[in-house]
């Protein structure tokens, strides 16, 4: 629902919204940027209060509120109204993705987490596919209720979100301990498994908020390195999510044909995300997964840059979109796996998403104004550089974590577990970093 409602403006644009509202490409880019500013501002504070308020309350409340705002975009008649809707859409959506990742990390052990994170992140690519299909159908409602087809895209998809938000209040458990669908024996097993994998620790239960833990998250080398990776990746994700259909239209496809031709690259990205998550969980290879898909991105963007052939450029989207979308769950899981205790983990996740969405702001300008269609030359060069940077920085992080794990193994030989200070979290000699 989140990906539907933040990205369906691209489908509405192709369906005639920009012309109907009489706004320029520059104004459209400003509207996209404005969505991400409050979105970014909400990510850290919402993650820090998630445990206190309760994910079973906070997450459904976010979904319900932005469903209303998403639907209201269909009533917009001018630029000011569009800006207001996009601002409040970002404000209500901002805490969802980091909150969901933190929520999942309290239910699943570290070695099984990427498959679950990938399940909802890869839905971004699947959503991209269904958004195109839905938009192609919904635009045939043009004129019903004296509303244009692009307005019905917002009405119908916003209503889906609102309905799901209300339902979520009744189905989201607060924690494994309160999950009504688990028996007492199953709850005990889940908690034991989480503790043995160090997905949670004894500290988590009494882990009060501390700015010290927030600062430790931001000063951890593995977090800082992956913040760079998430920034590069975010620039690609948001760029392709918001402009893929515009890129397809620039290849000569128009109207509903462009909507439908935007679907296949998203489907391949979804399949690659789920398959790679399975192998990453099974073999514990977060870093290698990121590096592998970084090369897919390099191939895709290089193909787009090197030719003007319509068919080759369309084929390049299968590489660039698959590489971009499949890398996201691996990067995010890598951050979660190597951050503890709770406040440090919550902060690390939020910092990763702040970087990711900051890349989104850059993407709206790279593809929106700074790099004209249909060639997007400056943006394509930037994406080739960023994809290379993702591979290099991920390799550096792999080397750093491998060295730290060797150092921790040596420390475990010389000290007893009870001799360590409390609250070390991921810095404990008994916390083995995921590679």
The residue behind tokens 């489907």 is: 267
The answer to whether residue 255 sits within a structural domain is yes
The answer to whether residue 244 sits within a structural domain is yes
* Sequence-separated (6 or more) residues with CB below 8 Å from residue 180: 173
pTM: 0.92
What was the pLDDT predicted at 219?
Answer: 94
What was the pLDDT predicted at 204?
Answer: 53
The answer to whether residue 233 sits within a structural domain is yes
Give the number of domains in the chain: 1
| For residue 426, cis peptide bond before it (omega within 30 degrees of 0) | no
What was the pLDDT predicted at 183?
Answer: 84
The CATH code of the domain that includes 103 is 1.20.1250.20
Interatomic CA distance for residues 189 and 261, integer angstroms: 47
What was the pLDDT predicted at 206?
Answer: 53
Q: Which residues of the chain have pLDDT under 70?
A: 1, 124-125, 128-129, 201-207
The answer to whether residue 410 sits within a structural domain is yes
* Sign of the torsion formed by the C-alpha atoms of 59, 324, 354 and 27: negative
Domain that holds residue 43: 2-427
The answer to whether residue 272 sits within a structural domain is yes
Distances (CA, A) of 360 to 43, 74, 112, 243: 14, 24, 28, 11
The answer to whether residue 383 sits within a structural domain is yes
What was the pLDDT predicted at 203?
Answer: 53
Tell me the per-residue pLDDT of 341-374, one tens digit each, with 9 for 90 and over.
999 999 999 999 999 999 999 999 999 888 988 9
The residue behind tokens 């489908």 is: 11
Interatomic CA distance for residues 83 and 47, integer angstroms: 26
């Amino acid at each position: 629902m989140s990906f539907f409602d933040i990205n369906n403006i691209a489908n509405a644009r192709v369906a005639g919204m920009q012309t109907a509202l009489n706004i320029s490409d520059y104004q459209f880019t400003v509207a996209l940027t404005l969505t991400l500013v409050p979105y970014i501002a909400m990510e850290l504070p919402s993650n820090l209060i998630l445990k206190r308020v309760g994910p079973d309350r906070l997450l459904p409340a976010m979904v319900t509120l932005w469903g209303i705002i998403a639907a209201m975009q269909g009533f917009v008649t001018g630029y000011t109204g569009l800006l207001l809707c996009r601002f409040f859409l970002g404000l209500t959506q901002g805490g969802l993705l980091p909150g969901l990742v933190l929520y999942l990390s309290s239910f699943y052990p570290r070695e099984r987490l990427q498959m679950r994170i990938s399940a909802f992140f890869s839905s971004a690519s699947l959503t991209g596919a269904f958004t195109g299909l839905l938009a192609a159908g919904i635009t045939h409602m043009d004129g019903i209720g004296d509303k244009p087809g692009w307005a019905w895209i917002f009405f119908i998809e916003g209503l889906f979100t609102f309905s799901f938000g209300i339902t979520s209040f009744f189905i989201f458990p607060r924690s494994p301990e309160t999950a009504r669908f688990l028996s007492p024996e199953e709850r005990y097993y889940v908690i034991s498994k989480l503790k043995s994998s160090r997905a949670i620790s004894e500290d988590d239960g009494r882990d009060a908020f501390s700015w010290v833990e927030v600062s430790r998250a931001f000063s951890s080398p593995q977090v800082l390195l992956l913040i760079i990776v998430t920034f590069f990746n975010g620039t690609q994700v948001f760029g392709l999510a918001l402009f893929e259909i515009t890129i397809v239209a620039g290849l000569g496809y128009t109207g509903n044909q462009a909507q439908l031709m935007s679907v296949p690259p998203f489907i391949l990205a979804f399949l690659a995300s789920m398959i790679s998550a399975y192998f990453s969980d099974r073999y514990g290879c977060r870093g290698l997964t990121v590096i592998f898909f970084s090369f897919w991105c390099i191939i895709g963007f290089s193909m787009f840059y090197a030719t003007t052939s319509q068919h080759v450029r369309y084929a390049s989207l299968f590489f660039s979109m698959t590489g971009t979308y499949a890398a996201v769950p691996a990067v995010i899981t890598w951050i979660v796996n190597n951050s503890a205790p709770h406040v440090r983990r919550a902060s690390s996740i939020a910092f990763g998403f702040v970087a990711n969405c900051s890349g989104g702001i850059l993407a709206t300008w790279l593809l929106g104004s700074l790099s004209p269609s249909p060639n997007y030359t400056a943006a394509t060069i930037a994406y080739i550089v960023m994809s290379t940077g993702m591979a290099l920085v991920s390799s550096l992080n792999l080397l750093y974590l491998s060295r730290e794990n060797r150092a921790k193994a040596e420390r475990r030989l010389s000290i007893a577990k009870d001799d360590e200070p409390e609250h070390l979290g991921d810095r404990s000699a008994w916390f083995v970093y995921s590679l």
